[in-house]
Amino acid sequence: MHVPSMQSLDLEEATMGKEYSSVRITINNITLEVDHGSTVLDAAKQAGINIPTLCHLDLHDLDAINQSANCRVCLVENETRGNLVPSCAEIVQDGMRIQTDTKKAVQGRRTSMELLLSNHPKECLTCVKNLDCDLQELSNSMNIKDIPYQGEMMNHPVDDSSGAIIKDPNKCVMCRRCMTMCDEVQTVGVLSPLKRGFDVSVGTAFHLDLSETSCTYCGQCVSVCPTAALAEHPHVPNVWRRLNNPNRHTVVQIAPAVRVAIGEMFGYEAGEISTGKLIAALRRLGFDGVFDTKFGADLTIVEEANEFLERLNNDGPLPLLTSCCPAWVNFIEQKYPDLLDIPSSCKSPQSMVGSLSKTYYANTMGIDPQNIRMVAVMPCVAKKAEAARDELAYGEQRDVDYVITTRELGAMIKEAAIDFNNLPDDSFDDILGESTGASSIFGTTGGVVEATARTAYERVTGKTLENVEFETIRGMEGLRKASVTLNGRTINIGIAHELKNARKLLDSIRSGESDLDLIEIMACPGGCIGGGGQPFHHGDINVLNKRREALYTLDKNNVRRKSHENEQVKTLYQKFLGDIGGQKAHKLLHTSYSKKLRI
Amino acid sequence: MLESFEALKNWKSAIREQATYRLEILVCAGTSCLSSQADTLLEMFTHEIHEYSLDAEVVLTPTGCFGFCGQGPILKIEPDNVTYVQVGADDVKTIVDEHLNAGRIVEHLLYDPPGQKRSTSEAGMPFYQKQHRVALKKCGVIDPENIEHAIKHSAYEALGTVLHTMDSDDVIDIIKQSGLRGRGGGGFPTGLKWQFTSTTQADEKYVVCNADEGDPGAFMDRSIMEGDPHTILEAMTINGYAVGANQGFIYIRAEYELATQRLFKALSDARKHGLLGQNILGSGFDFDIEIKLGAGAFVCGEETALIHSMEGYRGEPTTKPPFPSDVGFRTLPTNVNNVETYANIPSIILEGQRWFQSIGTKNSKGTKVFALAGDVVNIGLVEVPMGITVREIVEDIGGGVDGDKKLKAVQIGGPSGGVITGDDLDLPIDYDSLQSAGAMMGSGGLIVMDDDTDMVEIAKFYLEFTEDESCGKCTPCRIGTKRIHEILHRLTDMEGTPEDLELLEALCNNVKNTSLCGLGQSAPNPVLSTMHHFKNEYEDYAYRRKKTSYSIDADKCIGCTRCKKVCPVDCISGSVKTVHVIDESACIACGACDDACPVDAIIRP
Q: Is the Cα dihedral B433, B438, B443, B446 positive or negative?
A: negative
Tens-place pLDDT, residues B491-523 = 999 999 999 999 999 999 999 999 999 999 999
For residue B468, list chain A residues with Cβ-Cβ distance below 8 A.
197
Angle (nearest 5°) at CA A442 between A437 and A448: 100
How many Å apart are CA B375 and CA B241, to the nearest integer? 44
Provide, rounded to the nearest whole percent, the portion of chain A with pLDDT above 90: 88
A224 to chain B, closest Cα gap in Å: 18
For residue B490, list chain A residues with Cβ-Cβ distance below 8 A.
none
How many Å apart are CA B495 and CA B500, to the nearest integer? 10
The alpha carbon of B415 is separated from its chain's Cα centroid by a whole number of angstroms, namely: 13
Residues with Cβ within 8 Å of B225's Cβ and at least 6 positions away in sequence, in order, are: B211, B232, B252, B256, B259, B262, B263, B339
B308 to chain A, closest Cα gap in Å: 14
Rg of chain B, C-alpha, whole Å: 26
For an interface test with B, which of A23, A154, A191, A196 has the most B Cβ atoms less than 10 Å from its Cβ?
A196
Under an 8 A CB cutoff, do B467 and A197 touch?
A: yes
Residues with Cβ within 8 Å of B395's Cβ and at least 6 positions away in sequence, in order, are: none
Confidence band, pLDDT 50/70/90 cuts, at residue A376: very high
Under an 8 A CB cutoff, do B472 and A86 touch?
A: no
Q: What is the pLDDT of residue B605?
A: 59
How many Å apart are CA A367 and CA A370, to the nearest integer? 9
ipTM of the complex: 0.91
Q: Are A372 and A251 in contact (CB under 8 A)?
A: yes
Query: Of the candidates B299, B319, B513, which has its C-beta nearest A69's C-beta?
Result: B319
For residue B474, list chain A residues with Cβ-Cβ distance below 8 A.
70-72
Q: Please count the other Cβ atoms lying within 10 Å of the Cβ belonging to residue A421.
A: 11
For an interface test with A, which of B510, B512, B516, B517 has the most A Cβ atoms less than 10 Å from its Cβ?
B510
Under an 8 A CB cutoff, do A195 and B472 touch?
A: yes
Q: Are B113 and B402 in contact (CB under 8 A)?
A: no
A532 to chain B, closest Cα gap in Å: 26
Tell me whether B549 touches chain A (CB under 8 Å): no
Asked if pLDDT for residue A12 goes beyond 50, the answer is no
CA closest to A111 among chain B residues = B510
The helix, strand and coil proportions of chain A, stated in percent and rounded to the nearest 5, come to 40, 15, 40
Measure the N-to-C terminal CA separation of chain B; round to a whole number of Å: 67
Tell me whether B515 touches chain A (CB under 8 Å): yes
For residue B511, list chain A residues with Cβ-Cβ distance below 8 A.
111
Tell me whether A17 touches chain B (CB under 8 Å): no
Q: Which of A34, A12, A11 is nearest to A24 (CA)?
A: A34
A183 to chain B, closest Cα gap in Å: 13
Confidence band, pLDDT 50/70/90 cuts, at residue A538: confident
CA closest to B504 among chain A residues = A149
Q: What is the pLDDT of residue A593?
A: 93
Question: What's the Cα-to-Cα distance from A215 to each of A389, A408, B128, rounded to whole Å?
Answer: 15, 22, 63
Asked if pLDDT for residue A10 goes beyond 70, the answer is no
Beta strand ranges found along B422-532 (DSSP E): 445-450
Confidence band, pLDDT 50/70/90 cuts, at residue B405: confident
Q: Is the Cα dihedral A438, A440, A445, A448 positive or negative?
A: positive
Q: Are A521 and A528 in contact (CB under 8 A)?
A: no
What are B77's strand-pairing partners? B25, B82
**3 state SS of B422:** helix
Pairing of strands A518-522, A489-497: parallel
Q: What is the pLDDT of residue A20?
A: 65
How many Å apart are CA B32 and CA B34, to the nearest integer? 5
Tens-place pLDDT, residues A301-357 = 999 999 999 999 998 799 999 878 999 999 999 999 999 999 999 999 999 999 999
Buried b (16+ CB within 10 A) or exposed e, A185-208: bbbbebbebbebbbebbbbbeeeb
Under an 8 A CB cutoff, do B478 and A149 touch?
A: no
Q: Are A175 and A148 in contact (CB under 8 A)?
A: no
Q: What is the pLDDT of residue B46?
A: 95
Buried b (16+ CB within 10 A) or exposed e, B537-567: bbbbbbeeeebbbbbbeeeebeebbbbbeeb
Restricting to B residues 461-480, those with a Cβ less than 8 Å away from any Cβ of A are 467-476, 478-480
For residue B298, list chain A residues with Cβ-Cβ distance below 8 A.
none
Tens-place pLDDT, residues A54-63 = 999 998 777 8
Model-level pTM? Answer: 0.92
DSSP for B100-114, written as a single string: IIT----GGGSB--T
Query: Of the candidates B319, B471, B514, which has its C-beta nearest A112's C-beta?
Result: B514
Q: Are A300 and A346 in contact (CB under 8 A)?
A: yes
B247 to chain A, closest Cα gap in Å: 28
B456 to chain A, closest Cα gap in Å: 19
Q: Is A27 left (phi over 0), alpha (psi -120 to 50) or beta?
A: beta
Asked if pLDDT for residue B24 goes beyond 50, the answer is yes
CA closest to A196 among chain B residues = B471
For residue A91, list chain B residues with Cβ-Cβ distance below 8 A.
321
Asked if pLDDT for residue A11 goes beyond 70, the answer is no
Rg of chain A, C-alpha, whole Å: 26
Mean pLDDT of chain A: 92
Asked if pLDDT for residue B47 goes beyond 80, the answer is yes
For residue A173, list chain B residues with Cβ-Cβ distance below 8 A.
475
Tell me whether A195 touches chain B (CB under 8 Å): yes
How many Å apart are CA A390 and CA A351, to the nearest integer? 12
Buried b (16+ CB within 10 A) or exposed e, A382-410: bbbbbbbbeebbeeebbbbbbbbbbbbbb
For an interface test with A, which of B302, B478, B487, B490 has the most A Cβ atoms less than 10 Å from its Cβ?
B478
What are B384's strand-pairing partners? B368
Question: What's the Cα-to-Cα distance from B411 to each of B370, B381, B390, rounded to whole Å?
Answer: 12, 16, 11
Under an 8 A CB cutoff, do B510 and A192 touch?
A: no
Tens-place pLDDT, residues B75-106 = 999 999 999 999 999 999 999 999 999 999 99
Q: At what angle do helices B498-514 and A103-118 cross, to 10 degrees?
A: 110
What are A241's strand-pairing partners? none
Tens-place pLDDT, residues A455-497 = 999 998 899 998 999 999 998 899 999 999 888 899 999 999 9
Restricting to B residues 292-311, those with a Cβ less than 8 Å away from any Cβ of A are 297, 299
Q: Are B233 and B267 in contact (CB under 8 A)?
A: yes
CA closest to B513 among chain A residues = A84
Asked if pLDDT for residue A395 goes beyond 90, the answer is no
Under an 8 A CB cutoff, do B474 and A192 touch?
A: no
Q: What is the dihedral angle through the alpha carbons of B578, B579, B580, B581, rounded to the nearest 10 degrees? A: -140
Q: Which range has the worst mean pLDDT, B131-145, B206-220, B539-553? A: B539-553
Q: What is the pLDDT of residue A1?
A: 33
A107 to chain B, closest Cα gap in Å: 7
Under an 8 A CB cutoff, do A197 and B297 touch?
A: no
Q: Give the DSSP H/E element, type plus range, for residue A30.
A: strand A30-35
Under an 8 A CB cutoff, do B474 and A193 touch?
A: no
Tell me whether A84 touches chain B (CB under 8 Å): yes
Q: Are A86 and A44 in contact (CB under 8 A)?
A: no
CA closest to B199 among chain A residues = A17
For an interface test with A, which of B466, B513, B519 has the most A Cβ atoms less than 10 Å from its Cβ?
B513
Peptide bond into B322 cis (omega under 30): yes
How many Å apart are CA B345 and CA B178, to the nearest integer? 10
CA closest to A69 among chain B residues = B319
Tell me whether A72 touches chain B (CB under 8 Å): yes
How many Å apart are CA B230 and CA B224, to the nearest integer? 10
For an interface test with B, which of A70, A91, A94, A227 has the most B Cβ atoms less than 10 Å from its Cβ?
A70
Confidence band, pLDDT 50/70/90 cuts, at residue A16: very low
Angle (nearest 5°) at CA B295 between B293 and B300: 90
Query: Of the candidates B314, B482, B510, which has its C-beta nearest A107's C-beta?
Result: B510
Q: What is the pLDDT of residue B439?
A: 84
Pairing of strands A479-486, A489-497: antiparallel
Tens-place pLDDT, residues B190-217 = 999 999 999 999 999 999 999 999 999 8
Tens-place pLDDT, residues A105-157 = 999 999 999 999 999 999 999 999 999 999 999 999 999 999 999 999 999 99
Q: What is the pLDDT of residue A19?
A: 57
Which residues of A are tagged catalytic?
304, 307, 324, 344, 383, 386, 391, 528
Mean pLDDT of chain B: 95
Q: Which of B40, B25, B39, B34 is nearest to B90 (CA)?
A: B40
For residue A183, list chain B residues with Cβ-Cβ distance below 8 A.
none
For residue A38, list chain B residues with Cβ-Cβ distance below 8 A.
none
What single letter denotes the amino acid at residue A9?
L
CA closest to B469 among chain A residues = A197
Q: SS3 sequence, A464-507?
A: CCCCCCCHHHCCCCCEEEEEEEECCEEEEEEEEECHHHHHHHHH
Say if residue A105 is exposed, middle or buried (CB neighbours under 10 Å; 0-12, 13-18, 19+): buried
Q: What is the mean pLDDT of residues A498-520?
A: 94
